[in-house]
Structure 1
Amino acid sequence: MTDPTGLLGLLLEPLQFDFMVRALLATVVAAVVCALLSCWLVLIGWSLMGDAVSHAVLPGVVLAYIVGAPFAVGALVFGFLAVALIGVVRDTSRVKEDAAIGIVFTTLFSLGLVLVSVTPSQTDLSHIVFGNVLGIGTGDLLQIVLLGGVAAAVLLVKRRDLTLFAFDPTHAHAIGLSPRVLGAVLLGVLALTSVVALQTVGVILVVAMLIIPGATAYLLTDRFTSMLVIAPSIAAVSAVVGIYASYFLDVAPGGMVVLAQGGVFAMVFLASPRHGVLVAAIRRRSRRRAAGRTAVSP
């Protein structure tokens, strides 16, 4: 029989360290905000755009560090710059949108890597690429909570307009909303959210946190309002599980958080009551058996 005192002690052990408490809080906040946004990205089909913007903000973050400006400013500038460049390449050449996205985001991301490698810094800027959640200070945590709160507030306040834009931009335009403005709002929140998640999982894994929770919720429900509850819940639980697992297994926390989210997606993909692959196979087999019994009955 499990000793509850021992189990409780095991759960409380990481919380004895301030850096673990900060890491846990920062990761949960970043995961929840990313999960909220992921619902719209998955619904609209902007997964690749999320990948592009989350990577393209890297040079903006490094340049902001160089001039002493807030990271969010540099990220927003380069996020919108990436979108503008993608539009220019797509609209003025024979290159299609997916190729334009790949060209722009890989070029800007490479520029960011070069800037990281040549920028003198008292801190290791490579943590922007790979994440450094265990090194988050009180000031960093406050920045993450503040920016995350702003991003979440924008999404929740404008959720009806953004949802209409996602489902039917033509109707949104007909009732006086501007699809261009709403798209810009989502892209701005995307850039802001990328900054929120930078220090937890790094630029490379941000896209996973921006896609997996929404995709998982999409397999569990047909109601968008339910997605907005399910996706952040999955992300928050995965964040806690990932941080705890990284502590006890002594592995990279950012990677464990994303692995936890990926594990939940795999289970839902296989066993979701509505859209699970195994569940669908069992249903098809049951229908064939029922049809066979009907065929041979007198």
Structure 2
Amino acid sequence: MDQLLFPFMFPFMQNAFWICAIVAVPTALLSCFLVLKGWALMGDAISHAVLPGIVLAYILGLPLILGAFVAGMGCAVATGYLAENSRVKQDTVMGVVFSGMFGVGLLLYTSIETNAHLDHILFGNILGVGTQDLWTAGIIAVLTSVAMVVKWKDLMLHAFDPAQARAAGLNVNVLHYGLLTVLSLVIVATLSATGLILAIGLLIAPGAIAFLIVRQFGWMLVVSVIVNMAAMLGGTYISFFIDSAPAPTIVLVLTAMFLIALIWRRFSDKRRQQIV
């Protein structure tokens, strides 16, 4: 029993578990809307595009989260504008914009002298999370989670059928940019946990797993939170014993859970067809 509880004895592991519990809820809720709306690439684009904002904020002496948020929103707005005012499809525009901004971020980073480690920004530093990181992630998590829970029906209708949402009297522009704002904020909250590159795993996998397991969107939100919480806490716990990095371990756990859910869904569908 003492061996099983051993990871909880270290302060850095306690903070790691706390940051996992904090970011698991907003990332799981947001993943459901991204999966339903087909915005997987948008999450990937914004998570990569915040790098130049972080570097510029560091150069100017501003809070890094401010630079990350501004860059993320800039990427989202630029993508929407270019998609609406050109013949190029949105997924192509996103690929060009986020790769370009990521390249600018790398160029800026290599041109300055800093003690900050790039791998911590790209892949996270969950074992180095401090009290300030916990408070920042906690405040963002509460604000974004409450917003999504309060407006989940409106966001669901907008994600499923924007035309119907507009006909129902909803302000689709507010919902659209509100969801982009939440996406940018949640990515900022996950920087210390999984970094820029692996954040997309938290933003897509929980919703995809829940989508395979349940049929109702309300239950999809609940299941995604449970799945994400179990994967993040479990992945961090496992990484301690196998001496691996927590962030990629969490993503691998989510991938394994997705494969299990996919196999279970296909088996259930075949069994249902045989009964019918």
Q: For residue 34 of structure 1, what is the aligned residue in structure 2?
A: 27
Q: Displacement of 1:249 after TM fit?
A: 0.3
2:190 to 181, 190, 197: 197
Summarize the Cα distance change of 1:124–1:91 in structure 2 as closer, same or farther, 3 Å threshold: same
1:103 to 82, 96, 101: 96
Q: For residue 218 of structure 2, what is the aligned residue in structure 1?
A: 225
Q: For residue 156 of structure 1, what is the aligned residue in structure 2?
A: 149
Q: Would you say the 8 A contact 1:133–1:254 is kept in 2? A: yes
Q: Would you say the 8 A contact 1:54–1:190 is kept in 2? A: no
Secondary structure of the residue that 2:5 maps to in structure 1? helix
Q: Does 1:92 align with 2:85?
A: yes
Q: Which AA in structure 2 matches 1:278? A: F
Q: For residue 18 of structure 2, what is the aligned residue in structure 1?
A: 25
Mean Cα displacement is larger for which, 201-210 or 86-95? 86-95
Q: Which 5+ residue runs of structure 1 have no aligned equivalent? A: 1-7, 291-298
Q: Would you say the 8 A contact 1:35–1:214 is kept in 2? A: yes
Q: Which AA in structure 2 matches 1:62? A: V
1:51 to 28, 44, 47: 44
Secondary structure of the residue that 1:62 maps to in structure 2? helix
1:121 to 109, 114, 118: 114
Q: Which 5+ residue runs of structure 2 have no aligned equivalent? A: none
1:277 to 259, 266, 275: 266
Q: Displacement of 1:79 after TM fit?
A: 1.6
Mean Cα displacement is larger for which, 122-131 or 134-143? 122-131
Q: For 2:143 and 2:4, locate their aligned partners in 1 and report how far apart those are by CA, in whole Å.
A: 31
Mean Cα displacement is larger for which, 117-126 or 172-181? 117-126
Number of residues of Structure 1 aligned to a counterpart in Structure 2: 276
Q: Kindly report the root-mean-square deviation, in angstroms, between the aligned alpha carbons of the 2 structures.
A: 1.7
Q: For 1:246 and 1:118, locate their aligned partners in 2 and report how far apart those are by CA, in whole Å.
A: 34
Q: For residue 257 of structure 1, what is the aligned residue in structure 2?
A: 250
Summarize the Cα distance change of 1:51–1:64 in structure 2 as closer, same or farther, 3 Å threshold: same
Q: Displacement of 1:283 after TM fit?
A: 5.0
Mean Cα displacement is larger for which, 22-31 or 209-218? 22-31
Secondary structure of the residue that 1:69 maps to in structure 2? coil
Q: Which AA in structure 2 matches 1:185? A: G
Q: For residue 293 of structure 1, what is the aligned residue in structure 2?
A: none
Q: For residue 61 of structure 2, what is the aligned residue in structure 1?
A: 68
Q: Would you say the 8 A contact 1:31–1:197 is kept in 2? A: no
Q: For 1:246 and 1:117, locate their aligned partners in 2 and report how far apart those are by CA, in whole Å.
A: 31
Task: Give me the TM-score of the superposition, normalised by structure 1.
Answer: 0.87
Q: For residue 4 of structure 1, what is the aligned residue in structure 2?
A: none
Deviations 1:11-47 (A, max 9, x none): 3101110000001110222222111100100011111
Q: Would you say the 8 A contact 1:116–1:126 is kept in 2? A: no
Q: Displacement of 1:64 after TM fit?
A: 1.9
Q: For residue 138 of structure 1, what is the aligned residue in structure 2?
A: 131
Identity %: 41
Task: Give me the TM-score of the superposition, normalised by structure 2.
Answer: 0.94
